[in-house]
Amino acid sequence: MDCLFVGQHIIELSSVDSTNNYLIDLSQSTSLVEGTIVIAKEQTAGRGQRNNIWSSESDKSLCISLLLKPKLDISQQFLFNKFIALSLCQALNKCSLTTKIKWPNDILVDRKKVAGILIENSIRASKIEKSVVGIGININNNISHISKATSIAEHVKTIPSIPQLLELICKNIEKNYFLLKQKPLKIDELYHLNFFQKGQVQKFSKNGEFFDGIINSVNDSGQLVVEVNGRFEFYNMGEIKFMI
Ligand code: BTN
């Protein structure tokens, strides 16, 4: 693989509960190099954001976890999320997909989720010492029963292989990792260029009530900034739902 450190050490598993669990445990008991990746053909208890289950079919989805040691200040935690979402978006665009990032970091194609990200950080002395970045991508799994999900196979003629997809992800993460350290504002700018519904009127629900707002941005704390009746409002994760 044409990378300096991302994906230079790959641990391949045929079956595991969750690649994130595996990498978190292993990184606590062994010293692992930055860029180590765990990839599994099958996950028996894949985890998603907000304690959701992430289901995937054996060999038909990409399930990986990547170890990074960014040493960023915790105030940059959400910028780190933006960097990963952006990298995944760019990697998938290289497969002839047109992707958008939906707040906080879902990757959509045609308004449906094709990939998800679960980042689990360990903090020491106000720095992100270790980050386990879990990425799940629907490649050609049957997800027709999930109305808001899609797979790569539904959108392109030439479906990338798992190794091809992995290489694209590693290259884009590595490229943007340098940018994150040197030009963090650029990451923020590129994230917003690929942001779902930016500048558009979107319907939301909050505590069972509906409202419309214009999506403005995601701030440094990871809050969604929405313009409602001419005023900016700030929402935390889980506080509002997109009606799509
Ligand atoms: C989400 O959108 O809810 C996040 C999904 C993250 C799924 C990936 S698959 C590889 C890694 N291992 C896990 O248990 N979860 C992440």
Q: What is the pLDDT of residues 57-82, one digit of tens each?
A: 898 999 999 999 999 999 999 999 99
Q: Give the atom of ligand 1 at the shortest distance from the alpha carbon of 56.
A: 9
The span from the first CA to the last CA of the chain, in angstroms, equals: 38
Whether ligand 1 lies within 6 angstroms of the CB of 136 is answered as: yes
The pTM of this model reads: 0.97
Specify the pLDDT at position 143. Answer: 85
- Residue (of 148, 157, 162, 156) closest to 114 by Cα position: 148
At 29, phi and psi to the nearest 5? -100, -15
Tokens of 181: 């350290």
pLDDT at res. 142: 86
**How close is the Cα of 116 to the center of ligand 1, in Å?**
6
Question: Phi/psi of residue 89, each to 5°?
Answer: -60, -50
Question: Is the Cβ atom of 119 under 6 angstroms away from ligand 1?
Answer: no
CA distance 201 to 199: 7
As a whole number, mean pLDDT of residues 155-184 equals 97
With a 6 Å cutoff on the Cβ, whether 106 touches ligand 1 is: yes
What's the CA-to-centroid distance between 56 and ligand 1, angstroms? 10
The pLDDT of 45-55, averaged and rounded, is: 94
Average pLDDT, the chain: 96
- In the reported structure, the alpha carbon of residue 74 is separated from the centroid of ligand 1 by a whole-number distance in angstroms of 22
Which amino acid residue places its CA nearest to atom 9 of ligand 1?
136
Output the pLDDT for position 39. Answer: 98
CA–centroid distance, 117 to ligand 1, in Å, is 6
What's the 175 CA to ligand 1 centre distance in angstroms? 22
Q: Which long-range contacts (CB under 8 A, 24 or more apart) does 22-30 make?
A: 22/65, 23/65, 23/66, 23/67, 23/132, 24/120, 24/132, 27/67, 27/130, 27/132
pLDDT on residue 95: 97
Band the pLDDT of 23: cuts 50, 70, 90.
very high
- Is residue 224 within 8 A of residue 234, CB to CB? The reply is yes
Mutate to test the pocket of ligand 1, among 135, 137, 150 (most ligand atoms within 8 A of CB): 135
Above 90 in pLDDT, residue 202?
Answer: yes
Mean pLDDT along residues 187-216: 97
**Segment 14-27 mean pLDDT:** 98
In the predicted structure, residue 211 carries a pLDDT above the cut 90: yes
Averaged pLDDT for residues 206-224: 97
For ligand 1, say whether the CB of 46 is within 6 Å of any of its atoms. Answer: yes
Q: Is the pLDDT of residue 144 over 90?
A: no
CA of 229 to the centre of ligand 1 (A): 36
The CA distances from residue 68 to 81, 124, 140, in Å, are 12, 14, 28
Decide whether any atom of ligand 1 lies within 6 Å of the 102 Cβ. Answer: no
Cα of 137 from ligand 1 centre, angstroms:
9
Tokens (6 digits) for 211 = 């409202």
The pLDDT of residue 146 is 86
Residue 70, phi then psi, degrees to nearest 5: -70, -25
Check if the beta carbon of residue 36 is closer than 8 Å to that of residue 11. yes
Q: How confident is the model at residue 161 (pLDDT cuts 50, 70, 90)?
A: very high
Q: Stretch 142-170: mean pLDDT, rounded?
A: 94
Distance CA 13, CA 62 (A): 12
Listing from the earlier edge strand, what are the strands of the sheet with 209-218?
231-235, 224-228, 209-218, 201-206, 241-242
Of 128-137, 139-148, 221-230, the poorest mean pLDDT is in 139-148
